[in-house]
Amino acid sequence: MDPNAGTTIISREAVVAFLVGFFLAALLAVIFRRENLRTLTKSLVASKPTVAPPLVEAVERVQDILTISLANIHNPGEFVVLVFGPALISSRSGRDSATDAIARKRSDLRAALEKLRFNVLYGEDLQGLGADQIALELNVALKERLVARQAHAILVLASSIGSAAEVGIFSQDPALCRKMVIAIHQDHTGGFLAQGAAREAEALGARIITYSHGDLGSCRIQTSLVSEALRLYQGLLSRKLIMRPNF
């Protein structure tokens, strides 16, 4: 019998015991530090003044200003339509004829909607809305989004950089998508706008209509968009959320 055999076994047990003890000590240290961190975090949160972040305050303040400003533009219960797209410009320098044609379609669309006694606003009509009071507290994108929340229909002729950006912004808001209609040229249905933001908006309830180059010389584009606006109008009218216009 080897006299050192027992000693060897004890040494192994000691090593195992040491490792187990070291592991438990390290684990307890981690738990202790984590509990101390939680206690410190709770104390900091408890001592922090309950003040809304500046951006939240700005949004709430601007929302109130826009509500008052919009009340001066349309009457309560009136059906409000926002129409986005390329604007008519006096000079055609640097812009293709198709974009100019869509700009004229947007003008025709506004006239057709106003014949129905709808209150129609362009994106550029919103730029000065409450501007003196807002004093550039928010960027234009967030301002348009706040106004769009108060509109009943959003029609986008997505053929300019600005209107494409508006589709991108509105596509993140389900409440806006449910009342948004996007018109896209059929040649661009495989592009980033159609397959990206417009597709996301459609998944949240937006409608997409496509048009061809030949439609630029007909009434099809404005007729389709007016029909969509009427669909949204009839839905709100049936629920008595708006009033029937006086003709």
User: For the domain that residue 217 is a member of, what is the CATH number?
Assistant: 3.40.50.450
Please indicate, yes or no, if residue 243 is contained in any of the structural domains. Answer: no
Task: For residue 85, tell me if it sits in a domain.
Answer: yes
If we measure between CA atoms, which residue out of 102, 112, 95 comes closest to residue 157? 102
Average pLDDT over residues 6-35: 57
The verdict on 18 and 97 lying in the same domain is: no
Q: How far apart are CA 130 and CA 109, in angstroms?
A: 26
164: Cβ contacts below 8 Å, ≥ 6 apart: 158, 193, 197
Same domain, 27 and 76: no
User: What per-residue confidence (pLDDT) applies to 40?
Assistant: 40
Same domain for 168 and 87: yes
Residues 31 and 65 placed together within one structural domain of the fold: no
Which amino acid type is present at position 56?
Answer: V
For the stretch 50-59, pLDDT in tens is 444 554 555 5
**9 and 77 share a domain?**
no
Of 50, 67, 88, which closes a domain?
Answer: 50
For residue 15, the enclosing domain spans 1-50
28 and 103 in one domain? no
Flag whether 211 is in a domain.
yes
- Checking if the pLDDT of 31 tops 90, the result is no
Residue 156 has pLDDT above 50, yes or no: yes
Residues 188 and 121 in one domain: yes
Q: How confident is the model at residue 153 (pLDDT cuts 50, 70, 90)?
A: very high
Other C-beta atoms lying within 10 Å of the C-beta of residue 54? 9
pLDDT of residue 143: 74
- Domain shared by 127 and 164, yes or no: yes
3-state helix/strand/coil string of the chain = CCCCHHHHHHHHHHHHHHHHHHHHHHHHHHHHHHHHHHHHHHHHHHHCCCCCCHHHHHHHHHHHHHHHHHHCCCCCCCCEEEEECCCCCCCCCCCCHHHHHHHHHHHHHHHHHHHCCCEEEEHHHHCCCCHHHHCCCCCHHHHHHHHHHHCCEEEEECCCHHHHHHHHHHCCCHHHHCCEEEEEEHHHCCCHHHHCHHHHHHHCCCEEEEECHHHHHCCHHHHHHHHHHHHHHHHHHHCCCCCCCCC
Shared domain for 128 and 30, answered yes or no, is no
What pLDDT score was predicted for residue 37?
A: 43
Of the pLDDT bands very low, low, confident and very high (cuts 50, 70, 90), residue 102 is very high
* pTM, entire model: 0.68
pLDDT, tens digit, for every residue of 157-213? 998 888 999 999 999 999 999 999 999 999 999 999 999 999 999 999 999 999 999
Given this model, what pLDDT does residue 142 score? 75
| Whether residue 33 is found in the same domain as residue 130 | no
In a domain, 187, yes or no: yes
Same domain, 185 and 228: yes
CA atoms within 13 A on the CB side of 39: 6
Please tell me the distance from the alpha carbon of residue 167 to that of residue 59, in angstroms, as a whole number: 21
Domain count, the chain: 2
